[in-house]
Amino acid sequence: MTDHAVLAQKFVANSPRAHWHDRALWFVRAKRDLAAKSLPEWEELREHASDIKAHCVAHLADYLEEFTRNAEKLGVQVHWAKDAAEHNQIVLGILQKHRVTKIVKSKSMLTEECHLNPFLERHGMEVIDTDLGERIVQMRHEPPSHIVLPAIHIQKEEVGALFHEQLGTDEGATDPQYLVEAARKHLREKFMAAEAGITGVNFAIAETGGFVVCTNEGNCDLGVSLPPVHIACMGIEKLIPRAQDLGVFLRLLARSATGQPITTYSSHFHGPRPGCELHVVLVDNGRTEILGSDDFRRSLNCIRCGACMNTCPVYRRSGGHSYQSTVPGPIGSILAPARDAAKHESLPFACSLCGSCTDVCPVKIDLHHQLLTWRGEIARRGLLPKSKSMGMKFVSFVFQHRWLYEWSGKLARFSLRVLPRWMIYNRFNAWGRQRELPAAPRSSFRDWYRHRSKNDGGKQES
Amino acid sequence: MSSREDILEKIRRKKFPDQPLPNLSEFGIVYANRVEQFVAALKSVGGSSLRVNTLAEADQAIRDLDVHRHATKTCSLIPDIGEANVDLDAVDDPHELEDVDVAIFPGEFGVAENGAIWIDAKNVKHRVVYVIAQHIVVVLDRCALVDNMHRAYDRLSFATPGFGMFLSGPSKTADIEQSLVIGAHGPRSLTVVLVENGFSD
């Protein structure tokens, strides 16, 4: 897997675009701040959300059974999948049973994680992503770069060119209103032709057996209210105990995501439409492993609002695709190595440990602490690239030997002053690639302190 | 072992620190003037509102709406409100609703903090009508407003099969360069008619 830093370097090479991306996300972050400030109980609300999640995890097996029982009472068919392959097979089985070839899908990070679309396409099915941003990236044959704003990396001129080529819009047209109208027409046809609808799940309720899906466009409701089959795919961590807990999460989700007070549609599904089928697929795919880890369990609190991405100085300046993970940004950099640490070893280092993600997280995940813990974990498992592990070993050795430390300090102060620039700023100095090193002082703190004590007896200078 | 047993067994293998569930019965912001707050929140999410005194006035106000006057196909789920020419119960296939211009339906209650309205599809044959119509009009009792989402869930029960949703404004997207466009897949406009002496009389 290519290092995050290498891909990020390509992203920032186009400076105006990188700045545009940074500003677009900061704009969303600012809207989130306004929305959060509109509620005096915001911090308590986060506390409640975190408590509900902790409670639910402590009783997860019981709640999953309760959910299944209640859902089945409502006429829902509940399936369990250990991993992505089993999930895909279950979905395929349902679709084949109904001889479905045309499917509309509304946003679901889980089906992205399981690579459901290419799997169904290999079996001769057409899967249309109906969230506009997801449709745009699907037409470009690329993955989403953000979990809430899938096309945040794409400029309107590019959407215009794409739509001109594939939907026949006017050449050079870039007006978002016009482009959305064209997409509306195109996707209406897909909705009308679909034989099954697939959705994700934002929250599933143990006490009722129902679940909630949130969208702004209404694509979930159009997608599942016309065809006779609705398949809802969810990770087992999407469960909450009580219907009243939705009050907490629906207040937090949209405000944290886009600064809206609530999403336009918060649809509560309790059982199938008369004469139709409703399936829920409960998926593990590595979640029980994260659950077993005291360090990383809280990452399963995530409600996928994307606030940690919008605020992250590294995400904003490196773009979602640099992470090469379904969920990018701070939360993705915790979840991806949990799935495959060797493949995603660079992600916990794509972080300045500023802690902004932890501050905005609506469910109080200690994101930057977990990222730091992951760094240690990656070193322990021997997954660090040579450049990092050798450097760490060297520095560790120096820090353990006082004489060497003092001597190294002297050498560094001397060399930085006298060596020519090309000897200091070269390919071995990663830090100096974009920055100037600080000017070297003449003496060390230790020297200065010793000298000072002798001259004035340790009194404060005035 | 079935996948179900396998997953449950993996979860039960370890004890996790427990946490009591919060008591939400008194929690949440309270507004001095719910109607004012609701109308402002509704406006902020792209909806518009009208205030009338009686259901008869609501009917007249809805007939006077531009979207209604220009509509070819109108569907109303409230008896004697609006000039309806699509009878939902007479429609077999929901796809036939593709070209409905205006749908008029009741809201159960509104939420002041976010302008959302609870829509209950109980006894509604095709719930697609809420999202497939080009324009929607919701009739809401002015007295049926709650302060926040916690009070909203106090009013809801999900004991029987069904579908319901919080609807907050018309369908929208900001997926092209964060430019807000109203009318993504669903309704291009939402008008809420707040009735002073609502459905009770």
Of A216, A202, A247, nearest to B113 (Cα)? A247
pLDDT at A322 over 60: yes
Candidate from B13, B98, B156 with C-beta closest to A292: B13
Q: Is residue A448 part of a domain?
A: yes
Asked whether residue A415 is assigned to any structural domain, the reply reads: yes
Overall fold of domain B34-195? Rossmann fold (3.40.50)
Residue A271 and residue B162: Cβ atoms within 8 Å?
A: yes
The lowest-confidence range among A307-316, A317-326, A352-361, A417-426 is: A417-426
Measure the CA–CA gap between B137 and B81, rounded to whole angstroms.
11
CB-CB neighbors (< 8 A) of B94 in chain A: 225-226
User: Which B residues 58-97 touch A at CB under 8 Å?
Assistant: 94-95
Task: Answer yes or no: is pLDDT of A64 > 80.
Answer: yes
> Among B185, B192, B58, which residue's Cα sits nearest to residue B117?
B192
CB contact under 8 A, A132 and B8: no
Cβ neighbours for A42, distance < 8 A, ≥ 6 positions apart: A36
Contact yes or no for B164 and A268 at CB 8 A: yes
* Mean pLDDT value across chain A: 95
Cβ distance of B156 and A243 shorter than 8 Å: yes
Q: ipTM of this model?
A: 0.97
* Per-residue pLDDT band at A462 (split at 50, 70, 90): very low
Instruction: Give the pLDDT band of residue A433 (cuts 50, 70, 90).
Output: confident
Predicted local confidence at residue A184, as pLDDT: 97
**A144 within domain boundaries:** no
Give the residue-averaged pLDDT of A15-41: 97
Nearest CA distance, B58 vs chain A (angstrom): 24
Radius of gyration of chain A from its Cα atoms, rounded to whole angstroms: 26
pLDDT average per 10 residues of sequence, chain B (201 residues)? 95 92 97 98 97 96 97 96 96 97 98 98 96 98 97 96 97 94 96 83 44
Cα→Cα distances B155→A108, A208, B15, Å:
29, 15, 35
Residue A207 domain flag: no
Number of domains into which chain A is organized: 1
Secondary structure of chain B in HEC code, one letter for each residue: CCHHHHHHHHHHCCCCCCCCCCCCCCCCCCCCCHHHHHHHHHHHCCCEEEEECCHHHHHHHHHHCHHHHCCCCEEECCCCCCCCCECHHHCCCHHHHHHCCEEEEECCEEECCCCEEEEECCCCCCCCHHHHCCEEEEEEECCCEECCHHHHHHCCCCCCCEEEEEECCCCEECCCCCCCEECCCCCCEEEEEEECCCCCC
Contact list, B158 vs chain A (CB under 8 Å):
205, 208, 210, 243, 268, 270
DSSP letter assigned to residue A126? E
- What average pLDDT does the segment A263-274 reach? 97
Residues in chain B: 201
Chain B: nearest CA to A462, how far in angstroms? 54
Confidence at residue B201, expressed as pLDDT on a 0 to 100 scale: 44
pLDDT tens-digit readout, A148-194 = 999 999 999 999 999 999 999 999 999 999 999 999 999 999 999 99
Residue A443: pLDDT above 70? yes
Q: For the segment A72-117, what is each residue's pLDDT rounded down to a tens digit? A: 999 999 999 999 999 999 999 999 999 999 999 998 999 999 999 9
Q: Taking CB atoms and an 8 Å cutoff, what residues of chain A touch B17? A: 54, 58
A311 within a domain of the structure (yes/no): no
Query: A264–B45: do the CB atoms touch at under 8 Å?
Result: yes
pTM, entire model? 0.94
Structural domain span for residue A413 = 401-456
Tell me how long chain A is. Answer: 462
Q: Which of B154, B156, B185 sits opposite A218 (nearest CB)?
A: B185
Model pLDDT, residue B198? 59
> Do A299 and A338 touch, CB atoms closer than 8 A?
yes
pLDDT at A461: 47
